[in-house]
Structure 1
Amino acid sequence: MRSPESEKRSIFWAYVVRRKEKALADIDLALLAQQNAEILEELRALRREVAELKEQSGRTLDFERRNDPRRPNSLTQR
């Protein structure tokens, strides 16, 4: 025969499992898939933007270095 504590645990876990199954049944997989696709597309766009900004900043730095009046024009002028 089960102890009262054992019976309470059994009832509690049955309740938890039923609740979890109901919560999982309420999930709209199509909506999650759509949201996931939107997030991935936004992430791709952000990565493209970061790559463009890195390229742009590299060109700006090169331009500033080339036009720095403190920098010698050629190695022979040192």
Structure 2
Amino acid sequence: MGIESIIVFLIVGAVAGWLAGLIVSGYGFGLIGNIVVGIIGAFIAGYLLPALGIGVGGGVVWSIIHATIGAVILLMLIRIVKRA
């Protein structure tokens, strides 16, 4: 993996985490936290969406959408666990 790929990976994670924080109000983790939430969200969506038969296209925009969906799921799970 080249340095360019790592930079794109981090940018996609940061944007996805930030968007998920906006969608699930009350959750903002700062730059590093947003990157982590976005990356974990991408893994969650990468597992769940194909299992549900939902496919997304390629490219950076679809990667951000994909990771944001997973990050929203992650933040909702965190909210449920915190309330319990």
TM-score, length of structure 2 as denominator length = 0.31
TM-score, length of structure 1 as denominator length = 0.33
The higher radius of gyration belongs to: 1
